[in-house]
Structure 1
Amino acid sequence: MPALPSWLTEPLWDQFAVLLPERPDYHPNHPLGCHRRRISDRIIFDKMLQLLRFGCSYEAIADTTCSATTIRSRRDEWIRQGVFARLKQIALEAYDRIVGLVLDQIAVDGSITKAPGGGEVAGRSPVDRGKQGLKRSGMTDGHGIPLGRVLAGANRHDSPLLAPTLDRLDDLGPLPDDVTVHLDAGYDSDKTRTLLNERGLHGRIAHKGEKAPIQASQRWHVERTHAWQNAFHRLARCYERRASVVDAFFDLADTIITVRSLIRRAWTTHRWDERPNRRP
């Protein structure tokens, strides 16, 4: 069963392959002049997509084409080279160029998921009987395109994570003159308003103790994006212990979400050879 449809996998791989450095099939310094052929990067990339989508272990996804150790070592190699972060940035730039990011309306919110293995960004979850959990403070544009995130333990409050989350806006280049940040009642404090004023941002914050449907503002975009991310089972139940690995899987998931949204919105306005037969 494929992890993703071919109309989504192929453009992802085409761009991913360009970012990889050229490597010979055989190690040039082998004393006998020969060695086992290097496992294809495409095989490892497909395994990474399966790991992200299905949430299975490395041993469960390994087969005769590659071992679990090879998947882990190649994953770490790509993380050191910054391939996942660069892929996400390219996807955002392509979306902004073709469709356009809605940066005058920003939404930020936190989401708690399970982290049974603990790790660098795990903590006692207040909503899961103190078990290990992971919190992500996510930020999206006005259409729900993920712009960045901050990872922390599940016991961290949303409010202190707002400043480092908004710092991710610096990677997007010039912002519109008038930017509104939509927040839920967890951010309703003078400290938050002072933070937004210092950055020249307008805040639309739900008030504590007042019922306000999520549809009343643009906050629902970030809630929907959290749901999209949780559809990748490796993020909804994270066993990775290192923060760099968790970030890499989030970057890959955000790239998939961005490219999928780009294809969906460009389906009615553009034509290309691998265009899906119907709107995804």
Structure 2
Amino acid sequence: MPAVPSSLFDALWDQFAALLPERPEFDPAHPWGCHRRRIPDLVVFRHVVDALVHGSGYERIASQGCSATTIRRRVKQWAHIGLAQELHRIVLAAYDTMIGLDLHDLSADGCHTKAPCKGDKAGPSPVDRAKQGLKRSTLVDGDGVPLGLASAGANRHDSKLLEPTIEAAKQQVGHLPDRATIHLDSAYNGKPCRKVLDEHHLIGEIAAKGVPAPIQVGKRWVVERSQSWMNGYGKIRRCFERDGEIIDFYLYLAAAFVTVRALIRQARNRYRWDTRPTSRRLPYTIKWRSL
């Protein structure tokens, strides 16, 4: 059984493969007599997706055709050149073309996850007895499509990540409309956050402190739902990576999967294509593309 439906994997792999730099089949740096064919990127990407979904270590998902060292080395290369961010940018552009991003009703919120191995973006979690954790801040559109991500230690306050999250969304989308409404919880109710919103020409609909959430829940539920979708991936829910670039690589790769799934669900009621899912729930299949 594949880790993700083939309708998601095939669509993302086609775009991801187009972004990969060309490399020779044999490494020219190897000495004579030690030439081995380079492991195909498709094989490595399939193992990376398994690691993302299941949260397993590379040694557990390694196979006879792809070692843990190869996976680790290839992920580091891909993360260094920002392939996941570029993939997410392409997926957002496709969603905007086919469905349309609702950029006039934004929502942002932070989420705590575990980071047992510490690392560049880990810190004592205030909600988990000061164990090492990761804080993920996400900005979504009106339908919950993730636009931008920012990560830091779990002890970083949500308000401190608001500006990096907005900047990340602008890099991924290209622009945010002036005077767009952004829905925030009471953690952002302060002068620093209002100053950030003014600088980015956004109107903040911020919950007041001390008022029960059901009374003023507003439209923030879409970002909570998106955070839940992101936490469905084991590597995001419990991250053992220590390199900050690799952490962001997996965050944006998960965001790309979330966006493609949302695109397919929205498009199946508007368009027709040969492999169109027949139900709202995307079917899982064991039919993988041949190497």
Shift of 1:80: 2.5
Matches of 1:215 and 1:102, distance apart in 2: 22
Matches of 2:109 and 2:10, distance apart in 1: 32
Distance 1:29 1:153, change over 3 A: closer
Segment of structure 1 superposing worse, 67-76 or 266-275: 266-275
Matches of 2:215 and 2:100, distance apart in 1: 24
Give the 4+ runs in structure 1 shifted more than 3 A: 28-34
Matches of 1:115 and 1:11, distance apart in 2: 30
Corresponding residue for residue 105 of structure 1: 105
1:214–1:220 CA contact under 8 A, matched in 2: no
Distance 1:255 1:169, change over 3 A: closer
Corresponding residue for residue 184 of structure 2: 183
Residue 164 of structure 2 aligns with an amino acid whose one-letter code is: P
Matches of 1:34 and 1:188, distance apart in 2: 61
Residue 265 of structure 1 aligns with an amino acid whose one-letter code is: Q
Distance 1:29 1:125, change over 3 A: closer
Shift of 1:101: 0.7
Q: Pairwise mapping of residues 125-274 of structure 1 onto structure 2 (< 5 A)?
A: 125-171=125-171, 172-213=173-214, 216-274=217-275
Shift of 1:148: 1.1
Corresponding residue for residue 38 of structure 1: 38
Residue 89 of structure 2 aligns with an amino acid whose one-letter code is: Q
Shift of 1:20: 1.1
Corresponding residue for residue 116 of structure 2: 116
1:26–1:34 CA contact under 8 A, matched in 2: no
Task: Give the gaps of 5 or more residues in structure 1.
Answer: none
Segment of structure 1 superposing worse, 111-120 or 33-42: 33-42
Residue 32 of structure 2 aligns with an amino acid whose one-letter code is: L
Corresponding residue for residue 75 of structure 1: 75
Corresponding residue for residue 4 of structure 1: 4
Matches of 2:126 and 2:36, distance apart in 1: 50
Distance 1:214 1:30, change over 3 A: farther
1:105–1:142 CA contact under 8 A, matched in 2: yes
Residues 144-177 of structure 1, C-alpha deviations (whole Å, 9 max, x = no match): 1111111111111111211222222432234333
2:149–2:252 CA contact under 8 A, matched in 1: no
Distance 1:29 1:130, change over 3 A: closer
Matched residue SS, 1:265: helix
Corresponding residue for residue 287 of structure 2: none
Normalised to the residue count of structure 2, the TM-score between the two structures is 0.91
Distance 1:128 1:58, change over 3 A: same
Segment of structure 1 superposing worse, 90-99 or 172-181: 172-181
Residue 94 of structure 1 aligns with an amino acid whose one-letter code is: A
Shift of 1:77: 1.6
Task: Give the gaps of 5 or more residues in structure 2.
Answer: 283-291
Matches of 1:133 and 1:40, distance apart in 2: 34
Normalised to the residue count of structure 1, the TM-score between the two structures is 0.95
Matched residue SS, 1:21: coil
Matches of 1:214 and 1:92, distance apart in 2: 33
Distance 1:174 1:58, change over 3 A: closer
Shift of 1:33: 7.0
Matches of 2:202 and 2:58, distance apart in 1: 43
Shift of 1:214: 7.9
Distance 1:115 1:34, change over 3 A: closer
How much identity, in percent, do the aligned residues show? 51
Segment of structure 1 superposing worse, 202-211 or 29-38: 29-38
Matches of 1:181 and 1:252, distance apart in 2: 24
Corresponding residue for residue 56 of structure 1: 56
Matches of 2:174 and 2:34, distance apart in 1: 48
Matches of 1:191 and 1:66, distance apart in 2: 49
